[in-house]
């Protein structure tokens, strides 16, 4: 583990009786990095988050926070963590300021620094105008902001957010995403979500968990590269033969669609668009449509998880 590695997870496993909820996962989180922890409901995300924050003991494995073993030095390690669970731990009868002062004392912030810590958390989370309002009277978006404020009030090195935008409207989601990006400049952030665009909008790196196992770990940039076009939808007034299209450089398959439209699949590193247009002009195919098809995050996720499932099924057989 390097000096800039704030979270190190090795062979992390959690059993619930015969069920393995988290199965031997390992990863690291660097300083200033926003890590997206992505997976469908029931994949093991929340169980992993609970173990990372010390709220659930692992069945096996090791978790290190800022060089501190979470099991051997739980108080010191937890002091470096800020946590927003899926259901924010709010007291609805408190005002925002009362609640944040309470959270400051829970995190053992010195009495003469509590006011400053509350003001800083309010400012960073856009809560300046609601300090005297009851939490129970706030919108869900503002309650999420209060939940994030309690997670960062003690300036932890690592902030862990479990499904922070669930149930919010589009404007609130955009605001929380901007806040998460801002948090990533001063903290290392783990964002657990099942919302695919969330990762692309806010994270530097993404890990996909499925059935308790990590099945993908890479940068968002590389994930986006997997979304690049590998097929074209084309239309012609005078369509050529499939053999003529199949002879174009990079073409791997030609599929007939409705009317006079076709789907041309091609290798990612060899786009036949230029050759297609040139042949269409020279051969009188009368090209009427040329639309690149891009993989969505949903398709990539399904591809990755389906491949993992097929691999497991093959091994079981």
From edge to edge, which strands make up the β-sheet containing 81-84? Answer: 81-84, 158-162, 188-193, 34-38, 205-210, 213-219
Task: Between 28 and 222, name the one with better pLDDT.
Answer: 28
| H-run or E-run covering 118 | helix 114-124
CA proximity to 20, closest of 53, 43, 54: 43
pLDDT band at 252 (very low <50, low <70, confident <90, very high): very high
The residues near 105 (Cβ < 8 Å, ≥ 6 apart) are 114
Asked whether the domain spanning 231-293 has the same topology as the one spanning 5-225, the reply is no
Question: Region 2-26: what's the mean pLDDT?
Answer: 91
Tell me 201's DSSP state.
H
CB 212 within 8 A of CB 23: yes
CB 124 within 8 A of CB 82: no
Task: Between 277 and 304, name the one with better pLDDT.
Answer: 277
User: pTM of the full predicted structure?
Assistant: 0.76
Residue 236 has pLDDT above 80, yes or no: yes
- Cα 72 to chain centroid distance, Å, stands at 29
pLDDT band at 99 (very low <50, low <70, confident <90, very high): very high
- Residue 287: CB atoms within 10 A of its CB come to 16
Lowest-confidence range among 2-6, 79-83, 165-169? Answer: 2-6
Lowest-confidence range among 12-26, 112-126, 255-269? Answer: 255-269
Domain ranges for the chain, please list them: 5-225, 231-293
pLDDT band at 313 (very low <50, low <70, confident <90, very high): very low
Identify the bridge partners of residue 15 per DSSP, sorted by sequence position.
Answer: 20
User: Phi first, then psi: what are they for 218, rounded to 5°?
Assistant: -165, 175
Assigned CATH for 231-293: 3.30.70
Separation between Cα atoms, residue 5 and residue 44, nearest integer Å:
23
Separation between Cα atoms, residue 231 and residue 290, nearest integer Å:
10
Residue 304 has pLDDT above 70, yes or no: yes
C-alpha to C-alpha distances, 163 to 46, 100, 195, 313, 316, nearest whole angstrom: 9, 21, 8, 30, 33
- Cα 184 to chain centroid distance, Å, stands at 13
pLDDT band at 3 (very low <50, low <70, confident <90, very high): low
Residue 316 has pLDDT above 90, yes or no: no
pLDDT tens column, 273-289: 999 999 999 999 999 99
pLDDT tens column, 221-230: 777 666 666 7
State residue 268's pLDDT score: 76
State residue 168's pLDDT score: 81
CA proximity to 170, closest of 191, 148, 201: 201
State residue 46's pLDDT score: 87
State residue 195's pLDDT score: 78
Residue 190 has pLDDT above 50, yes or no: yes
Q: Is 6 helix (H, G, I), strand (E, B) or coil?
A: strand
**pLDDT-above-90 percentage for the chain:** 60
Question: Region 105-116: what's the mean pLDDT?
Answer: 95
Separation between Cα atoms, residue 17 and residue 309, nearest integer Å:
22
Question: Region 262-278: what's the mean pLDDT?
Answer: 90
Separation between Cα atoms, residue 34 and residue 206, nearest integer Å:
9
Q: Which fold has domain 5-225?
A: Rossmann fold (3.40.50)
CA proximity to 147, closest of 102, 192, 198, 86: 86
Residue-by-residue DSSP string for 277-297: HHHHHHHT--EEEEEEE---H
Residue 199 has pLDDT above 90, yes or no: no
CB 42 within 8 A of CB 50: no
């Amino acid at each position: 583990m390097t000096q800039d590695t704030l979270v190190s997870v090795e062979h992390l496993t959690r059993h619930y009786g015969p069920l393995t909820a988290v199965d031997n996962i390992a990863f690291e989180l660097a300083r200033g990095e926003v890590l997206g922890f992505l997976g469908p409901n029931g994949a093991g995300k929340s169980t992993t988050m609970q173990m990372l924050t010390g709220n659930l003991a692992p069945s096996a494995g090791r978790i290190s926070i800022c060089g501190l073993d979470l099991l051997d030095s739980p108080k010191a390690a937890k002091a470096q963590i800020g946590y927003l669970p899926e259901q924010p731990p709010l007291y609805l009868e408190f005002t925002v300021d009362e609640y944040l002062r309470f959270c400051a004392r829970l995190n053992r912030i010195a009495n003469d620094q509590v006011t400053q810590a509350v003001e800083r958390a309010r400012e960073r989370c856009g809560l300046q105008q609601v300090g005297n309002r009851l939490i129970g009277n706030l919108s869900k978006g503002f309650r999420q902001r209060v939940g994030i404020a309690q997670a960062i009030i003690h300036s932890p090195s690592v902030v862990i957010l479990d499904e922070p935008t669930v149930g919010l409207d589009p404007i609130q989601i955009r605001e929380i995403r901007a806040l998460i990006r801002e948090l990533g400049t001063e903290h290392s952030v783990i964002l657990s979500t099942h919302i695919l665009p969330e990762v692309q909008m806010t994270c530097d790196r993404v890990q996909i968990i499925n059935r308790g196992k990590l099945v993908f770990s890479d940068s968002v940039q590389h994930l986006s590269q997997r979304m690049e076009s590998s097929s074209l939808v084309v239309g012609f007034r005078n369509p050529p033969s499939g053999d003529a299209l199949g002879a174009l450089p990079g073409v791997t398959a030609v599929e007939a669609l409705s009317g006079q439209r076709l789907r041309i699949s091609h290798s990612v590193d060899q786009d036949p668009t230029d050759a297609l247009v040139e042949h269409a002009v020279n051969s009188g195919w009368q090209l009427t449509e040329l639309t690149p098809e891009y993989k969505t995050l949903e398709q990539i996720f399904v591809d990755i998880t389906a491949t993992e499932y097929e691999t497991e099924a093959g091994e079981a057989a």
